[in-house]
Amino acid sequence: MMQSIYDTLFSGFVQPPDAAAVQGPNPDPARVYLVMEWPGKQISEADVAGAWSPTNPTGKMSATENFSDLVDKIPSTFPMWAPAGPPVSDTYRSITNAQVTPPPENAAQKAAYEKADRLIWTEGKDFDDDGNSVTVKKPHPMYVAYKKAALAYANALTAFINNYLALDMTKPEDQRRWALQGPGMRTPVDAAWDDWNAAHKTKIEDALATLSQSSNNQVGVVFTEARRRLDLLKKTGLTDPGKTWYASYALPANWFAPSAVDSWTRATISSKKETKNEHSDYSKVEVGGKASWGLWSGGGGFASEQAHEHMDETTDNLEVSFSYAKVDIDRPWLNALLMGLNGWHTTAGGKNFYSDGTKNQPKAAFPLLPMSFVAVRNLSISADWGRKDLDSVT
């Protein structure tokens, strides 16, 4: 059951089944890692609602700090949540202080880099630690529209794939339903794809590619700008004056609102139908006898099988239903290009200390950069319960 939940989410966001394939790109499974924090992290709406942002200057700074703390954890490369070490912000700050040895400057690459940079970034206003207005680089409105359209396409695609995964293609009635209703279910995906292309998709992605390709020649400039941006955007903790934090934002911004669930995807996963995706990383959980983990968890993390109880063998017809959506994380203070550049090193560790770019790096300090999280509402679990599980749920 756990694998069906994991692979349903993975298929919806990363690698759809062939029968549910549509036009448009899918993320490279080798570059995406899904981590489940089971049985989930409860979030109070009051803690994150009305957050301050440059577009909502009268919002609550406390809500922004709460959300920023929520998404500042670095997970290990393991399908079930386990922390890898210091927060994203602390680790990134140490990287920006690296010793840089820039290559000889190439005038053509510099010009291409600056042109692409102007398309992705523009000057905007933010506030420093003392509340003073400062000029910083902010996403260009065209880039913001591109990201919103990309997220809308991803959500439409997820809903379409989920409709497919809910069917059992070994049953003639489900085959007929998909054949007849599938084209209509696909219409929102095609519309979202057209909207994404209309949001200057090709132009934006060409600029992003240019920045990526030209950054190695501009490594000194990139690191200097990264340190400058980080210094300008640091803030002091509201309850801990000794704490430094950096504001992160959610897209969509209203992800926490009860009304937002109307546009979320609804999933129903049954023990009668197994869902698997050959590209997912869940198979790693089966190593070392951990495949028997059930839905109930005690204290501790998934590194200890003893912290998780087995399902009662007499429980039958288990069904899990929930509404879910992908929420993107925007960190205006972080330039992810730094991690892929040559010509820099730190005293913190040797080669591959932070990451080697693979999925198998259990000792790395920065193995994964969380780019999104899955928000879940209206969770229900039903079954013909065995006595042991009935005691757990009641």
**pLDDT tens, residue by residue, 217-226:** 778 888 888 9
Give the pLDDT score at 25: 63
pLDDT > 90? residue 60: yes
- pLDDT tens digits for 69-84? 999 999 998 888 888 8
- pLDDT tens digits for 237-273? 888 878 899 999 999 999 999 999 888 988 888 877 6
HEC string of the chain?
Answer: CHHHHHHHHHHHHCCCCHHHCCCCCCCCHHHCCCCECCCCCCCCHHHHCCECECCECCCEHHHHHHHHHHCCCCECCCCECCECCCCHHHHHHHHHCCEECCCCCCHHHHHHHHHHHHHHEEEEEEECCCCCEEEEEEECHHHHHHHHHHHHHHHHHHHHHHHHHCCCCCCHHHHHHHHHHHHHHHHHHHHHHHHHHHCCHHHHHHHHHHHHHHHHHHHHHHHHHHHHHHHHHEEECCCCCCCEEECCEEECCCCCCHHHHHHCEEEEEECCCCCCCCCCCHHHHHCCCHHHCCCCECCCCCCCHHHECCCCCCCEEEEEEEEEEEEEEECCCCCHHHHHCCCEECCCCCCCCCCCCCCCCCCCCCCCCCCEEEEEEEEEEEEECCHHHHHHHC
pLDDT > 60? residue 130: yes
Q: Name the more confident of 318 and 147.
A: 147
- pLDDT tens digits for 81-123? 888 889 999 999 999 999 888 777 778 888 888 899 899 988 8
- pLDDT tens digits for 326-369? 999 999 999 988 888 888 888 887 788 999 888 888 888 999 99
pTM of the predicted structure, to 2 decimals: 0.71
pLDDT > 60? residue 138: yes
Give the pLDDT score at 142: 93
Give the pLDDT score at 277: 65
Give the pLDDT score at 43: 93
The full set of domain ranges for the chain reads: 2-393
